Amino acid sequence: MDGIFTALMVSYDQDGTINEQGLREIIRYNIDVCKVDGLYVNGSTGENFMLSTEEKKEVFRIVKDEVKDQVKLIAQVGSINLNEAIDLAKYATDLGYDALSAVTPFYYKFDFEEIKHYYNSIINSVDNKMIIYSIPFLTGVNMSLDQFAELFENEKIIGVKFTAGDFYLLERMRKKFPSKLIYAGFDEMLLPAAVLGIDGAIGSTYNVNGQRAKQIYELAKQGEIEQAKEIQHVTNDLISEIIENGLYQTIKEILKDKGVNAGFCRQPMKRLSEEKVAIAKDISKKYL
């Protein structure tokens, strides 16, 4: 379960309907062109939190049907509706997903005992493994080293997607939990995370920049830091221009420039102007 995982995008028609053919094309581009090691399905990048339960299941189904066993699959099932999270966990497990993940419950100020109950309830309902999805800047949930230790007492909780800038905590986690999987969640900080000994990374820009991400990760493991640094510089130039133009929309336009039917983002995400679509195409040609 180590390596580079794409936080998978989903193709939507202009009315927000899932475009199955487009989703399959995105999957194929990730596997065949970006050469990623796995896919992280129904995360933020897939616009998951704007989908109904049945739509989330449809995405899980299409992805598994297209991928079969070509790469590893992680199903993000987290929801502040615990019953939905458990339902999705059972569905993805029955489909044969290699592991589950769940974002920390957000919006309400859940205390740690409630968060612990949430994770244990989900993973103990199925015969599968859990990867915590920690993304404090969006959820407002910051957990300490001791709290992660409590969660990891459940042997079915095998790791964390660490999308935070606290690299002191990352280093402490790596030292304290050598047998747990740690995935870096910030694409722009892949190299420093790799130097600290992560097991892989999960990111949005890997939908188009997966090959460079794999190079950075492998070079860092080999101790080729200067070469990895140069690739990270180029990667961060790309990321900066994508973010400035509109993150998800621009990645989809880059995919379209590569011949992939990546569709549109769901409302209330806005459409790119013609000027920004042109900028996205320029980014595609400049970096990819």
Flag whether 205 is marked binding: no
Contact 249, 272 (CB under 8 A): yes
- Tracing tokens 């640094």 back to the chain, one arrives at 229
Flag whether 218 is marked binding: no
Query: Which is the catalytic residue, given 72, 129, 161, 256?
Result: 161
Give the integer Cα–Cα distance in Å for 199 and 177.
Answer: 12
Flag whether 104 is marked binding: no
Classified as helix, coil or strand, 101 is strand
DSSP bridge partners of 201 = 4, 184
Flag whether 139 is marked binding: no
Active-site residue flag, 161? yes
Give the integer Cα–Cα distance in Å for 122 and 238.
Answer: 37
Give the integer Cα–Cα distance in Å for 116 and 264.
Answer: 36
Query: Which is the catalytic residue, given 97, 133, 183, 206?
Result: 133
Active-site residue flag, 91? no
Residue (of 159, 240, 139) closest to 202 by Cα position: 159
Full DSSP string of 133-161: EE-HHHH-----HHHHHHHHTSTTEEEEE
Flag whether 15 is marked binding: no
Full DSSP string of 241-260: HHHHH-HHHHHHHHHHHTT-
Active-site positions?
Answer: 133, 161
Annotated binding site for pyruvate: 45, 202
Annotated binding site for aceneuramate: 44-45, 163, 185, 187-188, 204
Annotated binding site: 44-45, 163, 185, 187-188, 202, 204
